[in-house]
Amino acid sequence: MAHEHDFQALSVQRLPAIVAAAPKAELHLHIEGTLEPEMAFAIGRRNGVPLPFPDPAAMRRAYDFRDLQSFLDVYYAAAAVLLHERDFYDLAWAYLVRAKADNVVRAEIFFDPQTHTSRGVPFETVVGGLSRAVDDARARLGLSAGLIMCFLRHLSERDAFETLEQALPFRSRFVGIGLDSGERGNPPEKFRNVFARCRSLGLHTVAHAGEEGPPSSIVGALDALAAERIDHGVRCLEDRVLVDRLVRQRVPLTVCPFSNVRLRVFDRLADHNLPALLAAGLRASVNSDDPAYFGGYVGDNLRGVLSALPLGAADAYRLLRNSLESSFLEPSAVVAHVARLDEVFAAG
């Protein structure tokens, strides 16, 4: 167990290396958001799907987003290059190799089946490629990964139910369901029934809420969806009663600092409310959301917040421990990873 005095002794210069070496869980990562421009061009060429940019550098230069929707427009368009099982495998494998380099020991990976089935790509193709990469990550990298199927909230609940029907033959390939896409005008309550059905199937439930949407969106995700984790959740600080509830119920918040800056939730990393979330006793972790679009993977996000914000070794430890303890891993695996985290911090 790492104690307070260990943190005092730990040199500030050593902290980035310790955090880099520490075991971590990534809990908020959209696999479509790991499509780097170079890979988008390579897969697009292979599949004969053109992209509306002359080259990867121009594509990257266009990543100047006003808000969530302006990002989603680009993100859904780029996903159009993904057609075959191999494409989904290559995408997920490339992410998992990068995650391994960041010492991610557990990745819970979102995928958006409707982004693909709406283009005529069979559900089986998507989940087949992704789950083959997940299996290979365990066998070849020693990295545990699980898939979380997200429903697009700008579509109807009926559409979500149809997607669930397509998913049922592959029930064993994913650990839970989530809710993503444009938050404004699409409250959690819209998906009450499909989430209830998923819970009855033994699926874990998470939901994006309180990213651009108000605190009431977080309340809706807890009350209407029984979400076990809130993705983002940063706007909870606007509601004291809600903060008390999130602390009391130990609800994890999967915070994505680089994303919040690129999508203009906060102007600069130095303005992010992560220190306030931790000070309030909220169970926040650091995650990368859509790293190919927002300037970095989970290690980059951690390095970024530690240098831009008033966070010390105890905060870094808390963020990493929260990530491991908020995962859907079995308790014995969490205990083992936390023991390793303690060793890394104790060794300084």
Would you please indicate which residues are annotated as catalytic (active-site) residues? Answer: 211
Contact 217, 239 (CB under 8 A): no
CA-based diameter of the chain, in Å? 59
Contact 106, 324 (CB under 8 A): yes
Instruction: Give the x/- contact pattern for ligand ADE in 133-172, rule: CB under 6 A.
Output: ----------------------------------------
Q: Is 33 in the site for ligand ADE (CB under 6 A)?
A: yes
Q: Is 289 in the site for Zn ion (CB under 5 A)?
A: yes
Contact set for Zn ion, span 85-104 (CB under 5 A): none
Contact set for Zn ion, span 2-31 (CB under 5 A): none
Strands of the chain (E only): list them.
24-30, 104-111, 144-152, 176-180, 204-209, 229-232, 252-255, 283-286
255 token code pair: 């915070």
Question: Which residues touch 309 (CB under 8 Å, ≥6 apart)?
Answer: 269, 270, 272, 274, 275
- By beta-carbon proximity to Zn ion, the closer residue of 44 and 233 is 233
- By beta-carbon proximity to ligand ADE, the closer residue of 7 and 293 is 293
Q: Is 290 in the site for ligand ADE (CB under 6 A)?
A: yes
Query: Cα–Cα distance between 168 and 148 in angstroms, integer?
Result: 13
Q: Which residues pair with 24 in a beta bridge?
A: 104
Query: Cα–Cα distance between 74 and 290 in angstroms, integer?
Result: 12
- By beta-carbon proximity to ligand ADE, the closer residue of 24 and 30 is 30
Please identify, among the stretches 111-119, 133-141, 264-272, 281-289, the one whose residues bind Zn ion according to the rule CB under 5 A: 281-289
**Which of residues 26, 87, 180, 315 is near ligand ADE by CB under 6 A?**
180
Residues that bind Zn ion (CB under 5 A): 289
Binding site for ligand ADE (CB under 6 A): 30, 33, 68, 180-181, 208, 211, 259, 289-290
